[in-house]
Structure 1
Amino acid sequence: MKAPSHTFLKRTAALHHGSKNVTAVSGGTTPGRRHEHRHSVPESPARTRPGVLLLVLLIAQLMVILDITAVNIALPSLAEDLQLTGSGISWTITSYSLIFGSLLLFGGRAADLLGRRRMFMTGLGLFTASSFASAMAGTAAALFAARAGQGLGAALLSPAALAIIMTTFQGNQRAKALAAWGAVGGAGAAIGVLVGGVLTEFSDWRMIFYVNLPVAAALGIAAVKIVPADTQKPRWRGLDLRGAVLATTSLGAIVFAITQGETAGWTSLQTLLFGLGGLGGLSAFAALERRIDAPLLRIERLADRAVGGGLFLMLAAAGSIFGLFLLSSLYLQNVLGMGPLATGLAFIPLAVAAGIGAHAAGHIVSRHGVRGPLTGAFIVTAGGMTLLAHVGETGSYVRDVLPGMLVAGAGLGVAVVSVSIAILTGAREEETGMISGLNATGHEIGGTIGIAIFSTIAAGAGILAGPQAASGISHAFVAAAILASVASLVALAVLPRARHFVPKLRLNPPAMPAH
């Protein structure tokens, strides 16, 4: 529901401060030649057509977001076609979100060092090629590999697009551009379920990936003409490729252990090897980041209660959101027998409720801080998940799904925005890009782990299709309610009180999300 829309805002602004004042200077130009000099220097297309540039960047970001929520709607028909069963279905989403989330910090660093336009075009090319491979996939393994390629492309494309906005637009125009960027992130979930429903209903699940090809081709042609060229040569030093690979493989091992635990056995050698190996890899990542001069993440910042506590709460909130979409989609289609289009339309109230909650969160937090609102938001979310846990074999959308959707959606809308504010507030000027990157990464990784856990619980009986699947889905909603309850206690115990937090927020208004 939330896209990585705040990544690298402040850092890119600081790195390129004053770029709007860079002009061509001709040595020895006399006042009498001023008019002649003005005609000899053509303006950049990005300066003369900023609206076109912004449109290109927003469509690219929307394409990245849609490939999460649209696939949710197509999961049942996709699973039937590729003979996916049990928790293996979840890898259709997690293979994308895992790579996307774990490499977001690396993508932002690459945009700074290698060039924003270069990374935008590289990411777009990877995303397009992987979309074609996803559409052509004949096996589950081929689809998972292609989806991972899409995640890599998205991790390069999205931070680069945001960095281009930060360095091209100034003042009030920048604020408007960032508001549009945030709106795309918020609307992407609702648009995604509708697009996924329409394409799957009237065509085939593969069309979700095929439709990216003409859109990406048009974006590529427009980007060559409109995106400002990189003026500096690529700088490869400082990328921290080791840290990026270590973090990604470690998280992947943990997710694999979770999704395969039911089949292999929770105490089996495979589960323990991958699970403990993943945890050990994350410990090695933390040790590595503390030693190098330009880390992707300054680990010591997690000691800040708002940052460290906020990261845990972001993992919980995002896991709940991704799980809510997945479990609801499986129940509506596999148990109630609704078609893809009807399912997409059924998610609109959820998106509206979350949007209302997100809009209200900024006003609530500015007065009451984050501790109380987040405690309350997760309690509301737990209530919504409890309502959804009553789904049964002979249920109905209006009676058994809609009330829980609305309650959980409103709670999670407040939670995600409030957590983002908690993490971003108090960040020093030189580290805001890193902290905002951590916020976006937490969202994607939380969603990845959430899908892995909830899909494993839902598939515990080995059935995810037919009326019998209702029992496992109900158990997964119970687990989601427990997670939200734990998150409310963590918010109450860890986050700073309003009297300490609100003054810091007033000193750092950029931490408030743009609406």
Structure 2
Amino acid sequence: MTDERIVFGTSRARWVLAATALGSGMAFLDGTVVNVALPAMGEEFDAEVAGLQWIVNAYMLPLAALILLSGSLGDRLGRRRTFVAGVIWFAVASVVCTVAPTIEVMIIGRVLQGIGGALLTPGSLAILQTTFAPSDRGKAVGAWSGLTSVAAAIGPFVGGSLVDSGSWRLIFLLNIPLALLTVLITLRHVPETRDETAAGKLDVNGAVVVTIGLGGLTFGLIRAGEGGFSDPVVLVSLIVGVLAFAAFVEIERRESHPMLPPGIFANRAFTGANLVTVVVYGGLGTATFLLVVYLQTALGYSAIWAGAALLPMTLLMLALSGYAGGLADRIGARIPMTVGPLVMGVGLLLMLRIDIDSSYVSAVLPAVVVLGLGLVATVAPLTATVLSSVEDHHAGIASGVNNAIARSAQLMAVAAIPIAAGITGDTYLDPVAFSEGFANALWISAALSAAGGVIAWFTIGGRAEKPAEVEHHPHCALTAPPYADSRRAS
């Protein structure tokens, strides 16, 4: 642990913020630009819907499975060291994606990117929490949130421009100079910190088993889109996934230092907030994944305009998340978390109006704005509830669990909902068939969002128990809630 804390506004503080925001922003940027490039990648690799699903899910699978373990790894080995390792790993994986000759190699590269993302994502905020003076941590995290949100906002424009003017491979090549700059700044200006009191062995068994569980279910659901649920490979994969999750629960019960402490779910509000996370982020992740593809393949949008279609939602998150957090402090999280998912469901249903003859302003924009307003009302109160419903020393674990659950929900939804909606094989290349499947997927996603509102009403109480201890920071939540590791604050 460093003895000299950094004061916000100083030159050293700006360098530390630059390093952490560049590293996290690189991962966030990659998440947005890849969705924009999916149609172009599918065309070059002659990929079906399953291939596009794997390009997305191969990244989220290791990220969801390993993000909790990597936080503990940083505690023991050093947060700067783990962060730098994650950035370098991410850059090398990006090279693999850049030169990938087949979709199989691309998927391997995306898996490697997910591992790198799991190393650097919790590390960035852990560095801020342990290097800044306690009175300045809120400012530092707020600045980090704003900077990384800018990366998410410009991602569609950067990705769309590169796809339209050159090649989708450039979106991965862009990570190389960003990673090099991040490593140089980090090694020169970021102090090393670690938790000297960290004890016990890493929960490697839990990480391995949950990865098998997520992988088995994801593979089985995506494969079912090709061969149906009667396919023996599908059945075996799904059974392995379910058994692995059952084993994971038992391992966490017996583990002396579990990555997912079972007792943390004893709190009703915490459990409720995470159930809301599952259904809301599952529906949101699938809808945004399909919308960007739909606008390009069915409506003829260019990559840059398809990517920019969701920009108003990001801007609303940037502008209003702080106000939403303040409102939840005054009236409690129950009402915002009930109304927010319902409004999101309305926004998703408004997307049913998008067809070949509709314009962006008349059909796409209203749906995106309503969806964004619902997301604003949901995310800050949800994050506050997750943090305020556990003891302070469990805040980092609670936030990490919620982050992992959000990513796992998106992972499962992107694998399952397209099958349920009838989007399989090369359906996305047929505008008529894709339109029908897209409409079905929107109904499913809207139902999931509405279910989030119902769950919140019955599980979330009024005012948060410790509202003064919870800080709200504007952030883009298209991928997952922020990993706020208050546990590491001293």
TM-score (norm 1): 0.86
* 1:361-381 alpha-carbon deviations (Å, 9 max, x no partner): 212211222222111111111
Query: Residue in 1 aligned with 2:485?
Result: none
Which of 68, 72, 82 matches 1:119? 82
Residue matched to 1:472: 437
Contact 2:48 2:424 in 1 (8 A): no
Code of the residue aligned with 1:117 in structure 2: it is R
What's the CA shift string for 1:45-70, capped at 9, x where partnerless?
x9972211221111111001111111
Distance (whole Å) between structure 2 residues aligned to residue 227 and residue 341 of structure 1? 35
SS in 2 for 1:238: coil
> Which of the residues 298, 301, 309 maps onto 2:264?
301
CA 1:385–1:229: 2 relative to 1, 3 Å: closer
Runs of 4+ in 1 over 4 A off after TM superposition: 230-237
Identify the range of structure 1 (225-234 vs 410-419) with the bigger mean alpha-carbon deviation.
225-234
Q: Where does structure 1 lack aligned partners over 5 or more consecutive residues? A: 1-15, 23-42
Q: Deviation of residue 253 (structure 1)?
A: 1.2
CA–CA distance in structure 1, aligned partners of residues 296 and 394 of structure 2: 45
C-alpha contact (below 8 Å) 1:98/1:248 kept by paired residues: yes
Tell me the distance in 1 between the aligned counterparts of 2:300 and 2:436: 16
Q: Which amino acid aligns with 1:464?
A: Y
SS of aligned partner of 2:353: coil
Q: 1:486 aligns with which of 437, 451, 471?
A: 451
Give 1:398-477 correspondences, 5 Å limit.
Answer: 398-456=361-419, 457=421, 459-460=423-424, 462-468=426-432, 469-477=434-442
**Distance in 2 (alpha carbons) for counterparts of 1:232 and 1:190:** 34
Partner residue in 2 for 1:68? 31
Alignment check: 8 A CA contact 2:347 2:371 kept: yes
CA distance in 1, matches of 2:151, 2:451: 29
CA displacement 1:440-480 (0-9 Å, x = unmatched): 11222222222223333361474102422211111111111
Cα offsets for 1:406-453 (capped at 9, x unmatched): 111211222122221121113112211111111211222222222223
From 309, 333, 349, the equivalent of 1:370 is: 333
C-alpha contact (below 8 Å) 1:336/1:396 kept by paired residues: no
Give the alignment partner of residue 223 of structure 1, picking from 186, 200, 218. Answer: 186
Question: Is 2:132 the partner of 1:169?
Answer: yes
Tell me how far apart the structure 2 counterparts of residues 333 and 79 of structure 1 sit (CA, whole Å).
12
Partner amino acid for 1:472?
G
Alignment partner of 1:208 is 2:171: yes
2:428 partner amino acid? L
Kept in 2, the 8 Å contact 1:394–1:467? The answer is no
Once the two structures are superposed, residues 226-284 of structure 1 have per-residue CA deviations (whole angstroms, 9 ceiling, x without a partner) of: 22246899989521111111111211211222222222212443333222321221121
Q: Partner of 1:20 in structure 2?
A: 3
Q: What amino acid does structure 2 have at the position aligned with 1:459?
A: I
Match of 1:31? none
Q: 1:270 to 1:358 in 2, by over 3 A?
A: farther
What is residue 505 of structure 1 aligned with on the other side?
A: 466
- For the 8 Å contact 2:280–2:448, the answer to whether it is kept is no
Q: Which string of whole-angstrom CA distances, capped at 9 and with x for unpartnered residues, describes residues 129-179 of structure 1?
A: 000001111111111111110110111112122222111110333222111
Letter of the 2:295 partner, please give it: L
| Larger displacement relative to structure 2 (128-137 or 409-418) | 409-418
In structure 2, the partner of 1:101 is 64
Q: Say whether the 8 Å CA contact 1:354–1:411 is kept in structure 2.
A: no
Equivalence for 2:487: none
Q: How many residues align?
A: 471
* SS at structure 2 position matched to 1:20: coil
Counterpart mapping for 1:71-470 below 5 A? 71-229=34-192, 238-456=201-419, 457=421, 459-460=423-424, 462-468=426-432, 469-470=434-435
User: Hey, what's the Cα distance between the residues in 2 that align with 1:21 and 1:505?
Assistant: 29
Alignment partner, residue 4 of structure 1:
none
Counterpart CA distance in 2 for 1:230 and 1:174 is 15
CA distance in 1 between counterparts of 2:98 and 2:383 reads: 34
The TM-score, its normalising length taken from structure 2, stands at 0.90
How far apart, CA to CA, are the structure 2 residues paired with 1:104 and 1:300?
Answer: 19
CA gap 1:465/1:234 in 2 versus in 1, 3 angstroms: farther
Structure 2 distance, partners of 1:232, 1:283, is: 31
Report which of the two structures shows the higher radius of gyration computed on alpha carbons. Answer: 1
% identical equivalent positions = 28
Deviation string 1:365-407 (CA, Å, 9 cap, x unpaired) is 1122222211111111111111112333443322332211111
Within 2, Cα distance between the matches of 1:466 and 1:510? 52
Cα distance in 2, alignment partners of residues 54 and 355 from structure 1 = 18
Task: Tell me, yes or no, if the aligned pair for 1:105 and 1:438 is still in contact at 8 Å.
Answer: yes
User: Secondary structure, in 3 states, of the residue corresponding to 1:138?
Assistant: coil
When structure 1 is superposed on structure 2, of 202-211 and 185-194 the one drifting more is 185-194
Q: Is contact 2:267-2:390 (8 Å) kept?
A: no
Distance 2:442 2:318 in 1: 22
Superposition deviation, residue 512 in structure 1: 3.2
The code of the aligned residue for 1:102 comes to A
- Deviations along 1:461-503, one digit per CA (max 9) or x if unpaired, are 741024222111111111111111222221122222x1xx43x
Cα distance in 1, alignment partners of residues 383 and 197 from structure 2:
32
The answer to whether the 8 Å contact 2:274/2:405 transfers is yes
1:290-327 deviation line (CA, Å, top 9, x unaligned): 11211111112213211111111112222233223212
Letter in 2 for 1:479: I
User: Are 1:87 and 1:455, in contact at CA under 8 Å, matched by a contact in 2?
Assistant: no
Structure 1 distance, partners of 2:195, 2:141, is 25
8 Å Cα contact 1:314-1:416 kept in structure 2: no
Contact 1:106 1:244 in 2 (8 A): yes
1:409 to 1:458, Cα distance in 2 relative to 1, 3 A = farther
CA contact (8 A) 1:317 1:415 kept: no
1:114–1:234 Cα contact (<8 Å) kept: no
> Aligned with 1:402: secondary structure?
helix
8 Å CA contact 2:418–2:437 kept in 1: the answer is: no
